[in-house]
Structures are given as C-alpha cells and as structure tokens.
Amino acid sequence: MPVSRRGMGKHRRCHLRQIDRAAKCLEAAASSFAHNLLQESAEKLYFERMVVSNHPLSQRSRDEFASVAQTRGDSYVGELIAGSRNTLSR
C-alpha cells in the first residue's frame, strides 16, 4: 500500500530523515564488515565502527584516528580486565 505524503507533518518528515540516515549508516557498517571479511591479511581493513564527521577525512586523518582509537581502546579493555580481576579476588 503506497504511503501518501499529503498531510504529512514536520514531525513525520523528521522521522523519515532519521530513518534515511540510519539506513545509510547501517549500509556503511555492513559494507565495511564485508570488505574486512574478504581482505587478505596484509591489506588495510576498514573501520567497523561508525565515525561521523562534518567533513571528509584524509587518509592521514583516518590513520591518526585509528591509532588513537586503538591505543585508547586497548587501554580501556586493560582497565576493564584489571577491574574484573580485582573484583573476583575479593
């Protein structure tokens, strides 16, 4: 059944924009995931997490972001593991 846009309020149009943006984000995430699965081990992998930017990122900016994200992510996981060990040893 076709949806009529007649009488569609501003609120409804806002939801359509949000749905469209979410669909584009999901498409990009699925594309990155598929790309990574099909790559040889020596090739560069794509981010599997969404990074939203107000402007395109250069390859250098992407590499810098990946480095910072990896370092901070590893540190955070290390803190979680240490915290869980402390909790378990009590």
Output the pLDDT for position 10: 62
What is the reported pLDDT for 88? Answer: 67
Q: Give the pLDDT confidence score for residue 89 in this predicted structure.
A: 66
Q: How many CA atoms lie within 13 A of 4 on its CB side?
A: 2
**Same-domain pairing of 36 and 62:** no
Domain that holds residue 26: 7-40
pTM: 0.41
Asked, for residue 53, whether it belongs to a domain, the answer is no
Supply the pLDDT for residue 84: 79
Spatial separation of the C-alpha atoms in residues 2 and 6, rounded to whole Å: 12
For residue 7, what are the CA distances in angstroms to 3, 4, 13, 26, 35? Answer: 11, 8, 11, 29, 42
pLDDT beneath 70, residues of the chain: 1-13, 46-52, 88-90
In a domain, 13, yes or no: yes
Count of domains observed in the chain: 2
- Does some domain include residue 47? no
The rounded distance, in Å, linking the Cα atoms of 45 and 41 is 9
Note the pLDDT of residue 2.
52
